[in-house]
Structure 1
Amino acid sequence: MFTGFPVAALDFYEDLEADNSKQFWTTHKALYDDAVRAPMVALLDELEPEFGPGKVFRPYRDVRFAKDKSPYKTHQGGFVSVCPSGGWYVQVDARGLFLAGGFYSATSAQLAAYRTAVDTDLRGGQLEAIVADLGAAGFEIGGDTLKTAPRGFTADHPRIDLLRHKSLTAGRLFASPDWIDSTRTLSEVRAGWESMRPLVEWVTDVMGAA
C-alpha cells in the first residue's frame, strides 16, 4: 500500500545534490530504498488499474558522453508508457513532487504524423483546445521547440506554436507539499494524470502507430 513519500526522500535528494559521490550513495542506499524507491513502486502499483503498468527509472546516470560525470540522478522518476515516448510521468526530488504527461521525444515518422495532425482543423483544433484547458488549469506547457517554422509550414499558420514543438508536455510542480508523506499524494497524482488524459490520448491516437 502506498502511504506517501517520507520527507526524508526530499532531504535525501537535497544532500545528494551537495555530495553526488559513490561514498554518499553507499552510505545512504538503505534510505533511498526505503524512502524513495519503495514508495515509488507502491505508487505506480496503485495507479496501474487506471493508467497501466509503470516503470521506475534507474538511479544511475549514463555518463558515457556527458561532461558532467556525476554518477547519480538527483531525482526519482516513474513513467507509464502508452505509446513510444508518450505517457504519464511522476517525479520526486529535493523540490517536491512533479507530474507530467505528453510525449518527450519523437522519431521522424512520429513528428511527421504529429505535424500533419496539427495542420488539420479537426485534430489541430482538438490539441489547441486541450493545451489551452491545461494551461488554464495551472499546468505548464513545455517541450523542445524549433526557433522557426518547420519545413513546409509558414510562420503565419494559425497553430504555428504547436507545429514548432518537437516534444510536447504538460507539467505541474508541487513544491514541498505538506501532504507528500500521506496518501493524499496518490490522490494528487491520480487527479493530475486524469487532467492530462486528453493530451495523452491525443498523442496516442496520432503518434502511436507512426
Structure 2
Amino acid sequence: METFTGIPTAASAFYAELEDNNNRDWWLAHKAMYDAVVRLPLESLLAELAPVFGPAKLFRPNRDVRFSPDKSPYKTAQGAFVSNHEGVGFYLQVSADGLLLGGGFHSTSPAQLARYRTAVDAPVSGDALAGIAQALSESGFSVDGNRLKTVPRGFPKDHARAELLKHRTLSASMHLGQPDWMETAGARNEVARRWEQLRPLVDWTIRYAAP
C-alpha cells in the first residue's frame, strides 16, 4: 500500500466531468484517472486510519439501476464507510463539491430502532445523546438522518427529546469543500480530528443501540 500524500483536487474535477458524461464509454476512457486521483489515494488514507477507526469499505463506483428511474450507470461521488460494528461508524465522501465527513448509524432494523428509542427515552442515556448532538451542532456539524414527521407512538408528543425520538437513523456530517490541506499528507490528521469529534456519537450508538 502506498503512503498517503493527500487527496488530489483532481478528484473533484473528475466527478464534475462525470456529472456531464455519465456513460460507460467516458468511464472506460477515464478509468485510469479514477484509479489515480480517487481510488488509490482514498485506499491509502483509509488504510492509515484503520488502526484507530476500524476497517473501511470503499463503495463501488457503479450504481444499482435495477429499480431506479435514473439509469445513469455511475455514482457521482466516492464514499467510504469505516467501522468495527455493522451499520455504525464513520463516513467519508469525495465529489465535485469536495470533501464531506460524517459519522453515526444507518441501520434501521426494528430491533435496533427499538433499542435506540428506549435509550433516547431514558433520562441518563437520552440526555447524554442530546448533549452529544448539541456539541456537534455547535462545532459546525449538521445533525440529520431519516426522520419521522411526528413522535413515534408510545411516547408523549411533548417529550423532552422529541426531535431525537423522531430519528430512524442518526448521523452528523460536515461539508468541507476543498480546503488547502486536502492535497497534502496533513489531510490524514484533519480527517482523524473530525472523526474524533464524531466518536462520542458512534460510541453512544454502539453502547446503547448497536445493530
Match of 1:66 in 2: 68
Deviations, residues 50-72 of structure 1 (Å, cap 9, x unaligned): 11111111100011100101000
Contact 1:89 1:99 in 2 (8 A): yes
Matches within 5 A, 1:42-121: 42-121=44-123
170, 185, 188: which is aligned to 2:190? 188
CA contact (8 A) 1:101 1:171 kept: yes
Q: Which runs of 5+ in 2 are unaligned?
A: none
RMSD, aligned α-carbons: 0.9
Q: What is the distance in 2 between the residues matched to 1:168 and 1:86?
A: 10
Cα deviation digits, residues 114-172 of structure 1 (max 9, x gap): 00000000100110000011111111101011001101112100000000001110100
Q: What is aligned with 1:20?
A: 22
What's the TM-score, normalizing by structure 2? 0.97
Give aligned-pair identity as a percent: 50
TM-superposed CA distance for 1:192, in Å, is 0.6
Aligned to 2:36: 34
Q: Match of 1:180, SS?
A: helix
1:157-172 aligned within 5 A:
157-172=159-174
Counterpart Cα distance in 1 of 2:42 and 2:58: 7
Give the TM-score of the pair, scaled to structure 1. Answer: 0.97
Deviation of the 1:176 alpha carbon: 1.9
Structure 1 residue 81 displacement after superposition = 2.0
Deviations 1:7-51 (A, max 9, x none): 211100000011101011001000000100001100110101111
Unaligned 5+ runs, structure 1: none
Count of matched residue positions in the alignment of Structure 1 and Structure 2: 209
**Contact 2:145/2:168 (CA < 8 Å) preserved in 1?**
yes
The 2-side partners of 1:89 and 1:173 are apart by 12
Shift of residue 78, structure 1, vs aligned partner: 1.2
